Amino acid sequence: MHLDQIDHLPAQLSTLHPDALRSVFPNPTLIRLAGTRPAPLFLSVLLHGNETTSLDVLKHLQRRYETAPLPRSLMIFVGNVWATERGVRHMPDQPDFNRIWASGDTPAHALARQVHAAAMAACPFASIDIHNNTGTNPVYGCINALRPADLHLASLFAPLGVYYLNPATTQSIAFSKLCPAITLECGRSGDVEGLMAAVELVETVMRLDRFPDRHPVSHALRLFETLGRVDVAADCSFCFGPGHAALQFDSDMEDLNFRLLPAGTCLARTSEARLPLTVRDEHGTDLTRDFLTVNAGQIRLRRDVTPAMITTNLLNIRQDCLCYLMVERDIPTGDPSV
């Protein structure tokens, strides 16, 4: 898997449709743009081919800085160009490009190692990975470290933030070991609110000289922590709304995102004797019995939780997961070095 490297944003980018991406970026591409502040802001775009807000951010940067100097150098990784061309999360013969940033022996993992090494050598100022949801979710930022700088990034992007360590193979977890890092969840592809929030964050970070060394005030950010990831058993059929599948969810499941659900809430109905959902933490520990119970065909919560990233897109659930379960937590206070 070849990594192209260039030092400009192609002129054709401004009118480029996602399905024509490979006419400009035939391969995954690392773009280095020189700016006034030398330590680069790393931007990760199109890791998922059906999440195109990041492409619109690149178009904004090209228009905005076509004749004006960049306030800060940029290092931009254009990821899964093949999936973008087809409008899918990833191709059937590929791993998920946001699950390749830890150990692995595929060509995609080797590509990720090459990009990570290039970024590490450049000493990035911060990393922003831009994504969309397939389900109905608010705009929010995800961080992987509770440092003042990472929390500041989250508070600059949106009033909602999520701290997660699962899955442990994402770009932002890998880059959080190099610099402050955030994943932007910009709502659905094409949503103007998410695009504007992403553009504003990139513009703001390019102009920062330094991050604050104190935690943001608590009212600037409502922070959740991910406790577990929910998967549907691979051999279990499922549907949303009326149907004949072994596992049935309500058709309006996406409305539960970022809503506190009390213990006892019914999440689904099943005709199977087993529990066809699993909940695992970042270490792969099975937490299913801590969170879910099944009785008389109804799957209910054992404890209060807030779900995020519920989607009714069947393919995305198979390729990724049903959702994540979270609890709200306090913003850290006191000595940030602890």
Q: Do 253 and 195 sit in the same domain of this protein?
A: no
pLDDT at res. 219: 63
pLDDT in tens, 8-39: 999 999 899 999 999 999 999 999 999 999 99
Residue 300 pairs in a beta bridge with 266, 293
Residues in the chain: 338
Check pLDDT > 90 for residue 7.
yes
Q: What is the mean pLDDT of the chain?
A: 94
Q: Where are the alpha helices (DSSP H) in 158-233?
A: 171-175, 192-207
Q: For residues 62-86, give the mean pLDDT.
A: 96
Q: Do 156 and 235 sit in the same domain of this protein?
A: no
Q: Do 198 and 267 sit in the same domain of this protein?
A: no
pLDDT at res. 334: 52
Q: Do 319 and 250 sit in the same domain of this protein?
A: yes
> Which of 216, 243, 260 is the C-terminal boundary of a domain?
216
Q: Do 165 and 313 sit in the same domain of this protein?
A: no
pLDDT at res. 216: 64
Q: Do 209 and 230 sit in the same domain of this protein?
A: no
pLDDT at res. 134: 86
Q: How far is CA 80 from CA 24, 136, 278, in A?
A: 13, 24, 29
- Residue 224 DSSP label: E
Reduced to 3 states, what is the DSSP secondary structure of residue 126?
strand
Q: Do 230 and 166 sit in the same domain of this protein?
A: no
We report the CATH number of the domain holding residue 12 as 3.40.630.10
Q: For residues 314-324, give the mean pLDDT.
A: 93
> Which of 187, 216, 245 is the C-terminal boundary of a domain?
216
Give the list of residues 6+ apart from residue 303 with CB closer than 8 angstroms, or none. Answer: 263, 290, 291
Q: Do 178 and 270 sit in the same domain of this protein?
A: no
Q: Do 14 and 45 sit in the same domain of this protein?
A: yes
pTM over 0.85: yes
337 in any annotated domain: no
Tell me the residue range of the domain where 128 lies.
4-216
Q: Do 199 and 100 sit in the same domain of this protein?
A: yes
Query: What residue type is assigned to position 27 of the chain?
Result: N
338 in any annotated domain: no
pLDDT in tens, 239-248: 999 989 999 9
- 8 Å CB contact between 158 and 140: yes
Q: Do 187 and 310 sit in the same domain of this protein?
A: no
Reduced to 3 states, what is the DSSP secondary structure of residue 121?
helix
pLDDT in tens, 129-168: 999 998 889 999 999 999 999 999 999 999 999 999 988 9
Q: Do 60 and 183 sit in the same domain of this protein?
A: yes
335 in any annotated domain: no
Q: How would you classify the pairing of strands 323-329 and 181-185?
A: unpaired
Phi/psi for 143 (5° steps) reads -125, 160
Count of the separate structural domains present in the chain: 2
> Which of 216, 250, 284 is the C-terminal boundary of a domain?
216
Check pLDDT > 90 for residue 324.
yes
